[in-house]
Structure 1
């Protein structure tokens, strides 16, 4: 593949992340065992090389009862491969002022390029008041807010992943760049409607292989959505190689393919 690739949603996992029981329900799909020792950063880089990925945005995971991957751990991973890995921070929305301070630290001190919070971990929608200080901080710092849209793989309520919630967020924060990961399925048309309506709302394809993209997303990629969709894996759930299998069958022209795999993420996350 000649086109350069940026993975908009990945994790370099810690053992705490891999072993958290919240993901037990996913193992029946991935058929993956649970490692017993920490995964070296070299393993993530090798996965990227196999899938021809030049850069991966790797995220922290802050959950109510378990910081699965801390911001400082992400910073350490990035330090080991600074040309390949890009940090994405996360925060505890139940402590608004501490969250704002931590966002500023992530961006200004750790050099991260975005903040991600997953509504299903907190069991509240993105319109919940606890998210609003996070949006304000991200907008002020001009960094994207990344989140999950669509149903929830772990056995947690899916309703908070309805893409339509982002419509209200985008109305309240028109300056805020929002990236909704996991394509919004089974509400993909809802996700497309919100991304079409709002200049700063984007969709990423993490957690889905190219063979599983819904027809409406493929139509969007072929038409007015070619600047609105970013490639993602959700590694370690999916490797880049697996996620990209079947990409040629989408019959994207070179411009659309380059935007999807590289240029959109480079622009949205302000990557050099």
Structure 2
């Protein structure tokens, strides 16, 4: 079984947002002019052998690229395949708390994701703290990004060490740090080794591009701390899995990486 810990079914607002224009220097894809059917996302999952994907909303200061209600609609169309991940506007603390409660209690979402680079603020910024409290109260993970940003936005807010302070202040909060943390991979490994409730997902990287330090960690004492992710549609699942066999993970490590850790962390 394979679970994708980080994906999104993009709306046109998400695909066409100017902040992602710089990513096309890597993907070389044309900007969509028509909505992408949900069947395309499900077909991509099938091609990569992915059983379930956690698909996220995207809230930014100036634009709700994918709303929570849109994610709920996608999940309703394929409830056995898709799992909802909500997002919120951290500039409106009480509204954010109410929305997190709605996402979990009414929409059935399994996590909340907010990306520091979209807000140009590290996860220690005071605006994030009501989000952490709400996630703790509701027992859902807080998902975020670590490492440099693909879009041309400041990367400093993605330093993994910022999450050290968050994990100390909220030891009961499950934190999923996506995108590996490169070029601060050693920092990310130290972070998740130190804190029981902090894990890494490998979204935005293919298996053949995982840093050697991360692979060694996955083979050993970090086998329960890393989960598979794609960042679909930027990377297709089949592409993200290229080079998996070369990692030489034993059966237990491989099973935990591909699904077991995500099942545990997201309570699937």
TM interval, short-chain normalised: over 0.9
Aligned to 1:100: 97
Q: 2:82 aligns with which of 64, 67, 85?
A: 85
Aligned to 1:57: 54
1:270 equivalent to 2:267? Answer yes
Aligned to 1:161: 158
Q: Deviations over 1:251-272 (max 9, x none)?
A: 101110000000000010000x
4+ residue segments displaced more than 6 Å: none
Aligned to 1:68: 65
Q: In 2, distance between residues paired with 1:60 and 1:7?
A: 15
Q: TM-score, normalised by structure 2?
A: 1.00
Q: Deviations over 1:199-249 (max 9, x none)?
A: 000000000000100010001001110000010000000000000000000
Q: In 2, distance between residues paired with 1:265 and 1:98?
A: 28
1:194 equivalent to 2:191? Answer yes
Q: TM-score, normalised by structure 1?
A: 0.98
Q: Deviations over 1:108-140 (max 9, x none)?
A: 000000000000000000000000000000011
Q: In 2, distance between residues paired with 1:16 and 1:190?
A: 34
1:255 equivalent to 2:249? Answer no
CA RMSD of aligned residues (A): 0.4
Matched residue SS, 2:85? strand
1:45 equivalent to 2:42? Answer yes
- Mapping of 1:196-235 within 5 angstroms? 196-235=193-232
Q: In 2, distance between residues paired with 1:230 and 1:7?
A: 8
Q: Which runs of 5+ in 2 are unaligned?
A: none
Aligned residue-pair number: 268
Aligned to 2:174: 177
1:32 deviation in Å?
A: 1.1
1:170 deviation in Å?
A: 0.1
